[in-house]
Amino acid sequence: MATVGFLGLGIMGKAMAANLVNAGFDVTVWNRNPEKCKELEALGARSAASPKEVAAHCDITFAMVSDPEAALDICQGENGVAAGIGEGRGYIDMSTVDDATSQTIAETITQAGGRFLEAPVSGTKKPAEDGTLIILAAGDKSLYDDATPAFDVMGKMAPFLGEVGQGANMKLVVNMMMGGMLSIFSEGMALGLKSGLTGDQILDVVSAGAIANPMFAGKGAMMLAENYSTSFPLKHMQKDMRLAVSLGDKLDLPLPTAATANESFKQALKAGFGDEDITAIYKVVK
């Protein structure tokens, strides 16, 4: 079994790395705050002092960090992944970034002799814990094949989407739709409650019709309970909405609904809800 590294032990990364350890993989972890490595060490992982050290030790190194800036930071520089990757080893960035950032990372890794795959995920905290993420892979096909056993542990589906950039684009498409849906759902819930309907009445009718979906059921219950405990931080959704609208600009494709939803998330961010769950957009609407 391949030795694997995991960089970034936030809400998502910690759960994904834990699943790899529990499945019997030889896992080495790194996090900017080393305190977060202790929980993984207790499960049987070892920790390293830098991304470079992880990449130099492992056959395949995975990364799950917050944004394009963080993704570039752990890849580049004297202690970055590229400095340690070596000939033939693999680097798989599972962070949500734009296609241009992904291309830059791919070039950096391949110039250093490594193989690169982007593999952003669709899913939040519970799918990460349950190993039921949807993994959107694109890039080096041989690395995809080598990583399939690990993908099978972390996710329920891992389509290969082609050239680097297509995984990033697919993730932005999915999250743009999710953000837009959550924005209008928040408005619908607020309108229904203000007009005298009960939350249970609204959710019962929505769940029986054509627009029923797991997100409305789960997030609707959270809204009614005023529970904004973080599964997917609102600040990350706003970042994804911004990247999606920017991709539309680059492709000369108007995205008026996404742009409007992005403004609602920006308003929630300005109100101080960035570290709360994406459901906190409801607090701005209501």
Query: What is the set of active-site residues?
Result: 171
Q: Beta partners for 7?
A: 30, 63
Sign of the alpha-carbon dihedral angle for 46, 47, 48, 49: negative
Task: State the angle between helix axes of 68-75 and 99-111 in degrees (0 to 180), rounded to the nearest 10.
Answer: 0
CB 139 within 8 A of CB 117: yes
Angle, alpha carbons 94-98-99 (nearest 5°) = 90
Q: Beta partners for 116?
A: 91
Q: By CB neighbour count within 10 A (0-12 exposed, 13-18 middle, 19+ buried), where does 123 fall? A: buried
| Distances, alpha carbon 93 to alpha carbons 6, 18, 103, in Å | 10, 17, 11
